[in-house]
Amino acid sequence: MAQNFSLKDQLFNMEKTRYLAGLFHVADPEFDAEAFEAQVMSRLLDLELKERMAWIADCLQQSFPGNLPSVAPVILRALPPPLDPSKTDDDFGDFIFAPLGDWVVAVGSEHPELALDVLEELTQRFSMEWAIRPFLNSHPDLVLARMQRWSQHDSYHVRRLVSEGTRPRLPWGQVVGLALTDPLPLLDELHRDKTRYVTRSVANHLNDITKKDPDLVLDCLQRWREAGEQEEAELEWMISHTLRGLVKAGYPGAMKMLGYDPDADVTADISVDGEARINGALAFSVDLKGSADQPVLVDYIIHFQRPNGKTSAKVHKLKQAALKNGALRLDKRHKLKGNATTFKLVPGAHRLEVQVNGKIRAGVDFELLAE
């Protein structure tokens, strides 16, 4: 990604604002599209991404004052055709419609049934996973009952909203008061979906739950395996995607579900090759030995020095393989970028460890040198 790239400017800008204004002018010819555009742009570029969504929603609400029953018809008339129903993935929609969800939340609290009707239409243009959550908190039974119907909806965007909107740890999303088990009957239905856009959301939802109750997730996945209602390859992909956090943490139940024995008789030796230098690479080799040709899931962990003197461990995938004649050699070059915006490298003592089937098998200290 280019260093000066701005996601907020790509998603919310003059062109997108003009496009939205044009849709509402068609829906209501008395709507002053130029005045709306000028009002939005007077502040837009000074705001962060979520703030831009809220500001556009405020401007729409000022242009069309009133409660949801009075503004819902114009919202629905302004919408373009639904997203292509023939696709099955990677069709999130246009972010410029996200403020319409904020608008529905602002004026729809006393009209939850109508709000859900409108969100059902909106999510077929852009996912309403953030907008649905305030209604889950204020009317949980009503929304969950509607979601039960949505789980059978013809549009995979609506079906995905059921899983994504109820996630326990939805990025940028309002916290919801649901118990972890409340959405499970919905996921039981959605896990068999034929659309990766939906099954990925289900896996992400379960991954959220693993942070609080790993065994609840493992029991759920085992139940789905035994039911055999999803294609085997897709279900195994979902299981792997769901358990990615537990795998990094070395959770024994996750290892067993994926077919790896956490108590396997495996030993490891690590050797660091040459110098490790910022903006260079950490080159190392791992030699595994065991008593049988058994499957192994190998991760490596680097304990980085932090500017405050503490350390921070980061887990990285190395290999899923099997021992051959009781042995396996793995080589890796881990790039050490010094200009990353999210993680600053600090010269000094570091540590490298290898984790096999969830257990640390070996470790070695190394010195990270300045550029």
5: confidence class by pLDDT, cuts 50, 70, 90:
low
4: confidence class by pLDDT, cuts 50, 70, 90:
low
- Measure the CA–CA gap between 323 and 260, rounded to whole angstroms: 12
- Measure the CA–CA gap between 57 and 154, rounded to whole angstroms: 29
What DSSP designation does 346 have?
Answer: -
What pLDDT is attached to residue 2? 44
Residue 279 has pLDDT above 70, yes or no: yes
Closest CA relative to residue 324, chosen from 362, 295, 345, 344: 295
Closest CA relative to residue 135, chosen from 100, 117, 108: 108
Q: For the chain, which domains are there?
A: 66-242 (1.25.40.290), 266-369 (2.60.40.1930)
Tens of pLDDT along 79-130? 999 998 888 877 789 999 999 999 999 999 999 999 999 999 999 999 999 9
Tens of pLDDT along 225-252? 999 999 999 999 999 999 999 999 999 9
Q: Letter for the amino acid at 248? A: K
For residue 300, count other CB atoms closer than 10 A to its CB.
22
Full-model pTM: 0.91
Residue 282 has pLDDT above 80, yes or no: yes
**E strand or H helix that includes residue 271:** strand 266-273
Instruction: Calculate the alpha carbon distances from 266 to 263, 269, 272 in Å.
Output: 8, 10, 20
Average pLDDT over the chain reads 95
Residue 285 has pLDDT above 80, yes or no: yes
User: How are beta strands 348-356 and 295-305 bridged, if at all?
Assistant: antiparallel
Residue 1 has pLDDT above 50, yes or no: no
